[in-house]
Structure 1
Amino acid sequence: MATKWGDRDARRRDILTAGAALLADKGYAALQMRDVAKGAGISPGTIYTYFPTKEALFAELYAQRLILLHNAIEPECVSAEDPVALFVLVATEYLDVYRTYGRELNIWSLLDHTGATASSAHTEALTSAAHKVLAALHASLDRMYSARPEIERVDITSALTLLWATITGLSDQFTGVRQHLHTHDWDAAAQFAATTLTQGLGLRP
């Protein structure tokens, strides 16, 4: 069904749907505003009334994808008892996110250096979504430490920094050309990283 003229919410969804399709099919280089507008059934000029820049559109799409990531991992964050299994789940779910949204553009570097972009509602949505994912992981680690009072609790914020850096590094290793430099598959690498890190954090003997 065609979007009715004047329905800004539906038109915005059309733009995001068209942008997500281009990203999934051909990557960040294909996210051209003219092509997104064509996919959404609007004029090239109209798209800029919704998203002032390509980066703003990308940030909004990234935020939506992080919400889906949160929804996928949150149930396990609430109930998981095995930290290794939880780490592997989160890393594996994030692998697909990184393949589309992290490998070709580090949007976070743009947020640090572009004042106008950094203050937009689009990037605020991205930051909020990222914090939601991290909050679920923070609560899960807190719960696991609380269930093991005999374990020396580490600073959870520092632990999350290490865990997320490891997950990002693994994802980069397996979605770029460096994957050809080793013979490990994803499952083995994620399992090894999870076991090593959770032992270091005191969550496994």
Structure 2
Amino acid sequence: MNAGRDLLRENGLRALHMRDVAHGAGIALGTVYLYFANKEELYAALYAERLEEMFTGLAPVLEARPDPREFFVRFMSDYRLLHAEFGKDVHLLAAGGGEGGIDQEAVDPLLHATTRVLAGIHARLSEWGVDRPDLALTLLWSTATGLADHFSGPRTALLAPDWEDAVGYAAEKLAIALLPTK
């Protein structure tokens, strides 16, 4: 996992070759295949591990019942880091279940980790009185993904606001749109 993580961080999914993972780990190639049938399964395991780390970091923030705007900024900023590492290469959730060459059992930890993150945010949205937390969660996740994609790719050159301005503006507008007025 460490060797795969290093390769992934250095050069992305295209550079994640099982032979290089074995070499980096100092083990035989066949040993890698005892744990992962292909690079997509290794990628899914690494992605799940990273999502769990994100959830672990967000859990105390969620428990502290933050101001929604502050939480939206924190979530989008954490997600931006995750997206830079994983989100721009492949969408494994859609590939799960056989056709993408990924065994469902290998995708399950990724689905579990994603579900934990979403459930924690969903609970907080409900607590804040958001009338349709499922839809609000979709909007929040889509906004975070869009911003992360924008700021980790070439589109940044087309629209020049910095991350703090963009995410602060998005958080403010999400809070206005989603939270009940007092």
TM-score range, shorter chain: over 0.9
Cα separation, 1, equivalents of 2:100 and 2:4: 24
Cα separation, 1, equivalents of 2:159 and 2:4: 34
Q: Identity rate of aligned residues, in percent?
A: 37
Contact 1:198 1:204 in 2 (8 A): no
Q: Which of these residues, 57, 61, 64, is aligned with residue 49 of structure 2?
A: 64
Number of corresponding residues: 182
Contact 1:23 1:30 in 2 (8 A): yes
Q: What's the counterpart of residue 121 of structure 2?
A: 137
Give the C-alpha shift of residue 184 in structure 1.
0.3
Cα separation, 1, equivalents of 2:42 and 2:125: 33
Q: What's the counterpart of residue 83 of structure 1?
A: 68
Pair 1:193 & 2:178 matched: no
C-alpha RMSD over aligned residues = 1.6
Cα separation, 2, equivalents of 1:86 and 1:43: 45
| Range moving further from structure 2, 126-135 or 43-52 | 43-52
Structure 1 residues 45 and 111, CA gap change in structure 2 (3 angstroms): same
Q: What's the counterpart of residue 119 of structure 1?
A: 104
Larger radius of gyration: 1
Cα separation, 1, equivalents of 2:101 and 2:92: 14
Give the C-alpha shift of residue 204 in structure 1.
6.1
Pair 1:32 & 2:17 matched: yes
Pair 1:43 & 2:28 matched: yes
Q: What's the counterpart of residue 144 of structure 2?
A: 167
Residue identity matched to 1:162: L
Cα separation, 1, equivalents of 2:114 and 2:178: 23
Question: With structure 1 as the length reference, what TM-score do the two structures score?
Answer: 0.84
Pair 1:128 & 2:105 matched: no
Residue identity matched to 1:40: A
Contact 1:81 1:144 in 2 (8 A): no
Cα separation, 2, equivalents of 1:188 and 1:195: 11
Give unmatched runs, 5+ long, in structure 1: 1-15, 146-152
Structure 1 residues 203 and 171, CA gap change in structure 2 (3 angstroms): farther
Cα separation, 2, equivalents of 1:159 and 1:35: 42
Residue identity matched to 2:144: I
Give the C-alpha shift of residue 118 in structure 1.
4.8
Residue identity matched to 2:123: A
Residue identity matched to 1:140: R
The SS at the match of 1:52 is: coil
